[in-house]
Structure 1
Amino acid sequence: MRHEFISRSSNPGRLPGLALQGGQLESLGRIATLPCHEVMMNSKQILLPLFLITVASCQTQRISTSDADVSVMPTQHQTPTLVVSTTNPHPFVIARQVSPLYAGPSNISFIEVAEINAGESLTPLGLYGDFVHVVGSGEKDGYIWKEHLEYIPLDLPIMGSNEVPAEVINLFDFIFEPGATFKAGRLSIQTVDDEWFPLDIGPLQIATPFTLNTQFSAKGVGAIVLSGSAPSFGEWWSAPRLLVFSDHLELRDGRNEHDYVQIDLPGLENKLINIVFADPKGYSFTVYDQTGNSLITVDVSEFISINLDEGLFPSGNLFFGVLVGPLSRLTVSDLNLAKPPSGERVDERESSPRLRELADEREFLIGSSGAAYRLEDLQYQEILAGEYNCLKVPFFEMGDLRPSQDVYDFRHIDALVSFAERHNMSIIGSPVVHGGSEFLPDWLKNGNFSRDELINILHDHISTVVGRYKGRIHMWELVNEYGWMSYYQHWDLDFWKNHIGPEYVEMAFAWAKQADPGAFLLLDEPELEDRSHPMRSAMITSTYNLTTRLLEKGVPIDGIAIQGHLLLNSSAPTAVGFAETLELFEELGLDVYITEFDVNLANIPGSQEERKEYQAELYRIMLQTCLQSEVCKGFVTFEFSDRFTWLGDCDGCLGIPDPQPLPFDSDYQPKPAYFAMYEVLANHSSETVPEDEISR
């Protein structure tokens, strides 16, 4: 076990050899490095004192620094913006057309602050990339695309990144962790047992110097964490990382849990600090306090007990998060990242619309299910929110939600609901009631409850769940697979049917409507994809008859959810057979949603390319038939990446080899199935799908 400890005096003053300009370090003195030696700082040699202390066979080295001045320091939440002198400004430039004026040199990263009229005179101050910094009448001050100006003076100064506003990324926008709560703009995480709470979110791709701004307080053990990769499961230390505690910094190289460097830095508790990285790979960084005073500069490559020769972020990827110890609480009031803007103008017309934009044009839901713990992966977040306008939120059944009769654990659900709301996604809650034994908790199955007690338990569950999300979740897959169990007479699988009777379905829908009269309630069933298939046809007829009886009794069923797991237990459906299914439920005045779609390729012969093309054709036919009907209103896959399929080899999954059922592969790359969906949404018309049956 090898540790290194570095301390500094409580009043070190300002560090020499540093000019901070807009988040960039123009020169960086070598300060607080090990082993101790003479350090050159601004042509002055300073002999750093050495103290040797032995603690548990660890070599400890302690370093202090001397006072000196520093030229420019950051303040508050982001790096400073320096104003170009306008003593001799260029007289004016003319806007050739109506144009937006942005707060910074980007039409993506900065908001529009004003509109410039065609022919309006502006005073140019400088050029940064594709944008000109201008001022105009009425206190207009901002950045305009240079192509929207009649001309640009040839001698207009070129602005440096230190002279323009930094691009600020609010890292709170990416945190949707179960157990993390936001209140009054603050993130709070509290542990209630003897377990550690690690959180690592990423990757963010970093190509320029950047600054992390944060303010936090901890009761017990809590730290802000920056790392170069996601740690291995169960090994929070297994990545190069910087941990910022309230009284010290900790550096680790990820090789083992025991070796690290601790840098004494008291007084960070609940103080705004800026950590400025001089390069995107994190070879060195400087910590500033909220007044702009430098506290310490660290070169991570010069320590003995750890190896960070390639920096903290060797791949150019940044992961951020927290580490909270047992029985501790961490409260974070600021967490953002500032970096120089690219200055490039992005022509949004050149970028293709995403699936959700195409679906929005048709008032159609295109969606995926999701899981809260996967939101730590920013690639997962980006695809889920970028491609889909609908999120299916799972785990409302009792087995997942109620560890005991009187306790509900909504943490995972709340995280997904917050994510969907943040990204303006419709939400389907699923399933609220499932009679399958594997979806029910032991306290319920082994409780020897009477029928009346079970009715009360079920009533409480539905009222609590639907009522909690009233106005937030507008659609529910309320009862799951009752018709399937009824048709196949799997009564031994249906706990509620065995203990309450078939009327539990009527009760469930009535209770849900009472809890939220505006909720759209679905009966969710499998094996309803193809009325032309003999076995499927009988199941479809059975579900139709069951639904008819329930509607005649006044049960408030608003629609049917067709799961859509293709090639799992039968051959592929046909366009005609699926269209007939949709027409049948249309007779009942019900909308239909496909809510768990996937296409299992495990037993499909041919090359990989042939198998994926066959899968894409099934996606195309089912989505196009859905769109062409008057009744099918949404198409939701059961997750979107093969990495997370329920058919594969994972805990609680089916263990089918090589199913590859989803539109993105395990590396998040779109497959032919994705492009088939895209083409259907982009080119949808009233033309019918060819009636030839797909078979293999």
Structure 2
Amino acid sequence: MSHSITKRRLAAVVASALAAASAVTAVALTGPAAQAGPKTPTLRSEAPRDLEVGSAVWGQRELIGYDRKHPTEFQRILGAEFGSLTPENDMKWAELHPEPGVYDFSGADAVVAFAKANGQEVRGHTLLWHSQNPQWVTDASAGWTCQEARDVLEEHVRTVVGRYAGEIYEWDVANEIFQDDWDAGGVRLRTEANPFLKACAEDPVALIGDVFRWAHEADPAAALFLNDYNAEGVNTKTNAYYDLATELLADGVPLHGMGAQAHLSLQYEFDESVTENFERFADLGLQVAVTEADVRMPLGDDGEPTAEQITLQTERYRKLLDACLDVPSCSSFTVWGFDDARSWVPGVFPEGYATIMTGEYVKKPAYHTLLDGLRDATPGTGPRTPPVPAR
């Protein structure tokens, strides 16, 4: 089936068009005096119809107890600016599956409920990853056979994907499964760090393929992605992903997309081959996506960026968006949180100022360049120009 637009997304487009038509009719009936002033453009309102613009959000911290009539300022912005949400942590193993046979869906349910209330889509994140696993997985995996690892993973995938079937439009199924050039052993599958791949190290590709099959059987409508950092341009790691994708597709695995996280830092040069990389995965018949974008930087003693850093950050956000807009198969563009107060960056790196708004929700130049890029990409509320070809 084609995954360029799901039935849910098509229904949302139709509903939006009907709502717009109703608004026009109401204006015609009530006259100019009753017309409200023009609404402030948002990333969501300016996004092409065939591209979801999203943000990560930690539902357990920000969305539990959401009251649609009395939203917090954060919730109001989240609903207004973005058409897609990614649970930042709520669908990772440690949060979702803390004990054998025990699931805590409260955070993930809060994200899905908020998305429903605000007419948004949800990206699932993530099913197979070497990090943020609960202690019981770490302890048990030391003695797992491959079959035992498969059984645990299959039960998790079918339970989680099945619970949200019809409510998730894209899933990051396999996350960060390749090492980097700078890791011991170079670019190769993480058969040491990932407990499931380690247990099935004799044939890890077979396990990866089955994770996609289990997810697809649990929700045939969801587009299923590989996802990683340092996966923006053409490099050793993305070459390995390209070879893996080719192998999986040849084996009939329901793989539908390749996601580039795009966690960037101004300490490193920008890879200018993003469009080229996206195009080669699109040529395989896959969707591509920018899944976790932010652009961090080292800050001075005052905690503030320089004017030059702000300019560079703005340019890099725009280059990421343009690469997505230029490739018709790019289905979503997601920032990893929209405000600095909730950014993961300072807790992990000695850097900051990574998002598109300050902690007080002041829109940075990076925000405005994304808004301008989205506006330039589409006439009115139509699809990108030229239209996305059917597959």
TM tier relative to shorter chain: 0.7 to 0.9
What are the within-5 Å matches in structure 2 for residues 562-573 of structure 1?
A: 562-567=260-265, 570-573=268-271
1:420 deviates by 0.6
Secondary structure in structure 2 of the residue aligned to 1:493: coil
- 2:125 maps to 1:430: yes
Secondary structure in structure 2 of the residue aligned to 1:661: coil
Distance in 2 (alpha carbons) for counterparts of 1:489 and 1:432: 16
Distance in 2 (alpha carbons) for counterparts of 1:668 and 1:117: 36
Distance in 1 (alpha carbons) for counterparts of 2:291 and 2:338: 12
- TM-score normalized with structure 1 length: 0.46
> 1:178 maps to what in 2?
none
1:489 deviates by 5.5
Distance in 2 (alpha carbons) for counterparts of 1:565 and 1:676: 18
Could you tell me which of 349, 356, 371 is aligned with 2:58? Answer: 371
Distance in 1 (alpha carbons) for counterparts of 2:332 and 2:167: 18
The answer to whether the Cα contact below 8 Å between 2:56 and 2:86 also exists between their aligned partners in 1 is yes
1:547 deviates by 1.0
The answer to whether the Cα contact below 8 Å between 1:484 and 1:526 also exists between their aligned partners in 2 is no
Distance in 2 (alpha carbons) for counterparts of 1:445 and 1:569: 34
What are the within-5 Å matches in structure 2 for residues 140-151 of structure 1?
A: 148=33
Distance in 2 (alpha carbons) for counterparts of 1:489 and 1:419: 36
What are the within-5 Å matches in structure 2 for residues 580-595 of structure 1?
A: 580-595=276-291
Secondary structure in structure 2 of the residue aligned to 1:521: strand
Distance in 1 (alpha carbons) for counterparts of 2:320 and 2:149: 40
> 1:491 maps to what in 2?
191
What are the within-5 Å matches in structure 2 for residues 370-519 of structure 1?
A: 370-372=57-59, 373-375=61-63, 378-394=72-88, 395-434=90-129, 436=130, 438-447=131-140, 448-484=143-179, 487-488=187-188, 490-501=190-201, 502=204, 503-519=206-222
> 2:225 maps to what in 1?
522
> 1:675 maps to what in 2?
368
The answer to whether the Cα contact below 8 Å between 2:177 and 2:190 also exists between their aligned partners in 1 is no
Distance in 2 (alpha carbons) for counterparts of 1:398 and 1:425: 24
What are the within-5 Å matches in structure 2 for residues 18-29 of structure 1?
A: none
> 1:169 maps to what in 2?
none
> 1:663 maps to what in 2?
356
Distance in 2 (alpha carbons) for counterparts of 1:570 and 1:398: 31
Q: Give the direction of change, closer, same or farther, for the CA distance of 1:609–1:446 in structure 2 (3 Å limit).
A: same
> 1:6 maps to what in 2?
none
Distance in 2 (alpha carbons) for counterparts of 1:516 and 1:569: 40
> 1:351 maps to what in 2?
39
1:117 deviates by 8.3
Distance in 1 (alpha carbons) for counterparts of 2:299 and 2:176: 26
The answer to whether the Cα contact below 8 Å between 1:484 and 1:525 also exists between their aligned partners in 2 is no
The answer to whether the Cα contact below 8 Å between 1:356 and 1:386 also exists between their aligned partners in 2 is yes
What are the within-5 Å matches in structure 2 for residues 48-447 of structure 1?
A: 148=33, 347-348=36-37, 350-359=38-47, 361-372=48-59, 373-375=61-63, 378-394=72-88, 395-434=90-129, 436=130, 438-447=131-140
Structure number with larger C-alpha Rg: 1
Q: C-alpha deviations, 1:101-160, integer Å up to 9, x for none?
A: xxxxxxxxxx99x96987xxxxxxxxxxxxxxxxxxxxxxxxx67x65xxxxxxxxxxxx
1:439 deviates by 1.8
Q: Which has the higher helix share?
A: 2
1:488 deviates by 4.6
Higher relative contact order by CA 8 Å / sep ≥ 6: 1 or 2? 2
What are the within-5 Å matches in structure 2 for residues 511-550 of structure 1?
A: 511-531=214-234, 537-550=235-248
Secondary structure in structure 1 of the residue aligned to 2:317: helix
> 1:16 maps to what in 2?
none
Distance in 2 (alpha carbons) for counterparts of 1:541 and 1:414: 36
Distance in 1 (alpha carbons) for counterparts of 2:294 and 2:27: 50
Distance in 2 (alpha carbons) for counterparts of 1:593 and 1:432: 17
Q: Give the direction of change, closer, same or farther, for the CA distance of 1:587–1:358 in structure 2 (3 Å limit).
A: same
Q: Give the direction of change, closer, same or farther, for the CA distance of 1:490–1:471 in structure 2 (3 Å limit).
A: closer
Q: C-alpha deviations, 1:290-331, integer Å up to 9, x for none?
A: xxxxxxxxxxxxxxxxxxxxxxxxxxxxxxxxxxxxxxxxxx
1:396 deviates by 2.1
Distance in 1 (alpha carbons) for counterparts of 2:162 and 2:336: 25
The letter of the residue matching 1:391 is L
Distance in 2 (alpha carbons) for counterparts of 1:599 and 1:378: 26
Distance in 2 (alpha carbons) for counterparts of 1:380 and 1:499: 42
1:556 deviates by 0.8
> 1:635 maps to what in 2?
333
1:427 deviates by 0.8
Secondary structure in structure 1 of the residue aligned to 2:358: coil
Q: Which has the higher strand share?
A: 1
1:499 deviates by 0.7
> 2:12 maps to what in 1?
none
> 2:15 maps to what in 1?
none
The answer to whether the Cα contact below 8 Å between 1:565 and 1:598 also exists between their aligned partners in 2 is yes
Distance in 2 (alpha carbons) for counterparts of 1:598 and 1:513: 30
Higher alpha-carbon deviation: 564-573 or 413-422: 564-573
> 1:255 maps to what in 2?
none
The letter of the residue matching 1:512 is A
Q: Give the direction of change, closer, same or farther, for the CA distance of 1:604–1:487 in structure 2 (3 Å limit).
A: farther
Secondary structure in structure 1 of the residue aligned to 2:192: helix
Over aligned residues, Cα RMSD in angstroms? 2.8
The letter of the residue matching 2:139 is N
The answer to whether the Cα contact below 8 Å between 2:339 and 2:361 also exists between their aligned partners in 1 is yes
Q: Give the direction of change, closer, same or farther, for the CA distance of 1:609–1:514 in structure 2 (3 Å limit).
A: same
Distance in 2 (alpha carbons) for counterparts of 1:365 and 1:446: 39
> 1:559 maps to what in 2?
257
- The alignment covers a number of residue pairs equal to 339
Distance in 1 (alpha carbons) for counterparts of 2:226 and 2:337: 20
Secondary structure in structure 1 of the residue aligned to 2:104: coil
Q: Tell me, which stretches of 5 or more residues in structure 2 are unaligned? A: 1-21, 181-185, 379-383, 387-391
The letter of the residue matching 1:362 is R
Q: Tell me, which stretches of 5 or more residues in structure 1 are unaligned? A: 1-110, 119-143, 149-344, 532-536, 689-696
